[in-house]
Amino acid sequence: MRFAVRVVAISVAAFLASCCVIQRFISVQEPLLFPAEQVNKTVHHDNNHNVSFVTINKSSYALHAIRDGRSGNMGAHRVRVLVVARGAVDYKCRFPDGTVVDAEKSYEMSENHAMPFGVYFVNCETPANETVGGSLEFTQKKSPWVTLPVRYDIPDEKTVKDWKHQLTICLPFVFGDSRRFMHEYSAAVAYGTYCRRTTFSFQFMELNRILGVEHVIIYLDESDIPANLSSVISFYENMNVLEVVRLRIPVASKQIWYHGQLVAVTVIEFVSALILSPLHRSIIVGRSSFALIFYVTLRYCCLEVSLDNCLCSAHYCLYRSMGVSRFVAFHDLDEFLIPQKPELLPQTAPLLALLNTVLVNNVASIRVPTQYMSLQDTGELITLKNTLQRSYTDKTLTKCVVRPEMIFEQGIHHTSRVIQDNYKAIAGDEDTLRLYHFKTRGGSKTDTRIVRDYGDRLTQRYREVVAQIGL
């Protein structure tokens, strides 16, 4: 037993050393930043929201300021600035009447995972003699003062009683470049053509509309979008169902993606070797708690690689939705929130009806277990043609539905912080609601729930939309 533990300890040390070597190699090979003139460049698109970072210095970029009227465990009467930075320290805020306030210790997002650049909230308490207008001056150390827009005015969450939308989905970045698009949406890897990715986006929009989604916010970078995908976006924008936000992250996306891929591949290979080793298999079967914790930790690390673009867009969308949407779901284009007991729900907007029974009282967030659906048929209507599932649900790589005003920090796979200590982020019941994720991961059981409950309506809507757009 001691020998086995020593072997695992040596393996841990080797893994950590390899991560350090990889990070050092990447930092030497290519620069991590776009030139400042590219970062601050604003591209104008009709009917789109264009958002630009403001350069504080070469290591710090600010997106905007938020006036937060909530009084909770993160203080009251705060102005919060969302920054992407290498080291988020020594900031100052200057208010309209000239009062300069030293920022409090920056709040680091829990899913930065020691990446070269992270996402932070910089918090400044509003002086009693000051009011927050439409802009705020901001600096770090000896950098010149810059002016930031105060983009959102968040009310006390207890006063919000009415919303424009009942259910919104926040989609992370969709990239125009096909290679980056495939990184972001794993289902698209199997297709290889924009045409099939476009038909998948039809299914995403129409199935979610059947489920009760009224509003989707999608984040695009400044790359050009292929014409057929652009036509889908325009179609749903004109219906006021889809809202497009153009947001360029100041840290080079390829570098973050590449960094994450290298670390992930290294760890996956290492974990595979560990699992296939007879010695370590015997340790796991023998229920060595150290080996089990080690395996779970590595599995989490290799799959939970931090991506600043996803994290930043998640927080942008969270705060954008406060006071606007009652419920907000965070998931990807190849994922669907599917109720497991539709017979207890109305046919119209069943997901919304279910959330109205779960997200009540002091429940701020639900973490939905993931059900992997094996992606084998990559033709049209893949949500209806791929019915093989894995025999178990994933309770680590989950996605969340939240009541946005009650959340301070939202992670990719979990709610990291609620705004009041008595608010709860709960684990969802897999027998009530699951996140169906279509991936090439195999399956052994048949699940025809989507076909049975939504197949006819989805097929009809799909055909109608394709005909209207003319694809």
| Domains of the chain (ranges, CATH numbers) | 44-154 (2.60.40), 165-185+194-255+306-469 (3.90.550)
Q: Residue 286: which pLDDT band, with cuts at 50, 70 and 90?
A: very low
Q: What number is the average pLDDT over the span 217-238? A: 76
Q: What number is the average pLDDT over the span 163-176? A: 80
CA distance linking residue 268 with residue 257, whole number of Å: 16
Residue 149 CB coordination number (10 Å): 15
For residue 11, the model assigns a pLDDT of 52
For residue 226, the model assigns a pLDDT of 67
- Range in 74-83, 129-138, 300-309, 431-440 the model is least confident about: 300-309
Residue 272 has pLDDT above 90, yes or no: no
Give the SS3 label for residue 45.
coil
Closest CA to 207 of 450, 399, 468: 450
Q: Residue 241: which pLDDT band, with cuts at 50, 70 and 90?
A: very high
- Range in 53-67, 88-102, 168-182 the model is least confident about: 168-182
Report the helix count and the strand count for the chain, using DSSP H and E.
13, 23
Identify the residue whose tokens are 């208010």.
95
DSSP symbol at 406: G
Averaged pLDDT of the chain: 75
Q: What is the share, in percent, of the chain residues with pLDDT greater than 70? A: 68
For residue 111, the model assigns a pLDDT of 72
Burial of residue 131, with CB atoms counted within 10 A of its CB: 0-12 exposed, 13-18 middle, 19 or more buried: exposed
Distance (Å) of CA 382 to CA 75, 148, 208, 233 = 47, 44, 15, 20
Residue 275 has pLDDT above 70, yes or no: no
Contacts of 304 by beta carbon, 8 Å cutoff, 6+ apart: 111, 113, 396, 397, 412, 413
Contacts of 423 by beta carbon, 8 Å cutoff, 6+ apart: 362, 363, 364, 406
- Range in 91-100, 153-162, 169-178 the model is least confident about: 169-178
Q: Which residue has the higher pLDDT, 294 or 19?
A: 19
Q: Look up residue 323 and give its amino acid.
A: G
Residue 359 CB coordination number (10 Å): 18
Contacts of 309 by beta carbon, 8 Å cutoff, 6+ apart: 172, 173, 221, 249, 253, 256
Contact present, 437 and 375 (Cβ < 8 Å): no
23: tokens are: 């990070």
For residue 339, the model assigns a pLDDT of 98
Q: Which residue has the higher pLDDT, 231 or 221?
A: 231
Residue 401 has pLDDT above 60, yes or no: yes
